[in-house]
Amino acid sequence: MTQIIRRKGFPATAAMLLATLVGGVLPLNAQAADLEVSDARMRVLPGDTPAAGYFRLDNNGSRTVVLVGAQSQAFGRVELHRSMSDEGMASMEAVDRLEVPAGEPIEFAPQGYHLMLMQAVGEIAVGDRVEITLQFEQRESLSVEFEAVPPTSM
């Protein structure tokens, strides 16, 4: 009797093991799942002045991801920038790569990191939604909708 029960039990255990393995493999197809972008917005300014893109990026995975750039069909050129203030003088510099460790969210926000959105292809009005693709080192890109907000918005 004991033998039969064990034999009956084995396939069930195997099936569970398989389900666990498959469950562990499948997320590779949705690699962006452990990356979460929230509060994606862009401050639009009149004329040819570049817009600034802000967002929060959460890395819910187990390893560091590296943001290396962004692009958008709505802009001729997109760069990662960081604003700095040195003895009251505001300036900004381009950032080639930005490491986002697991569990340590990065905020793109005024006076800090931002996407510099240059050479707008068309007029962007407050309330518009514009798709921007964030590019990472050694993993698939992530498309995010940014909402256009007034220049006075934080």
**What does the binding site for Cu ion look like in residue numbers (CB under 5 A)?**
81, 92, 116
Of 70 and 116, the one with the shorter C-beta distance to Cu ion is: 116
CB of 23 to Cu ion, least distance (A): 42
CB of 80 to Cu ion, least distance (A): 9
For residues 25 and 65, give the distance between their C-alpha atoms in angstroms, rounded to a whole number.
19
Of 43 and 142, the one with the shorter C-beta distance to Cu ion is: 43
CB of 87 to Cu ion, least distance (A): 19
Q: Return the half-sphere exposure (C-beta side, CA atoms, 13 A cut-off) of residue 6.
A: 3
CA distances to 67, 71, 138 from 53, in Å: 14, 11, 23
Of 66 and 95, the one with the shorter C-beta distance to Cu ion is: 95
Of 59 and 69, the one with the shorter C-beta distance to Cu ion is: 69
Instruction: For Cα atoms 89, 97, 93, give the angle at the middle one, nearest 5 degrees.
Output: 15
Closest residue to Cu ion, Cβ-based? 81
Question: How distant is the alpha carbon of residue 64 from its chain centre?
Answer: 13
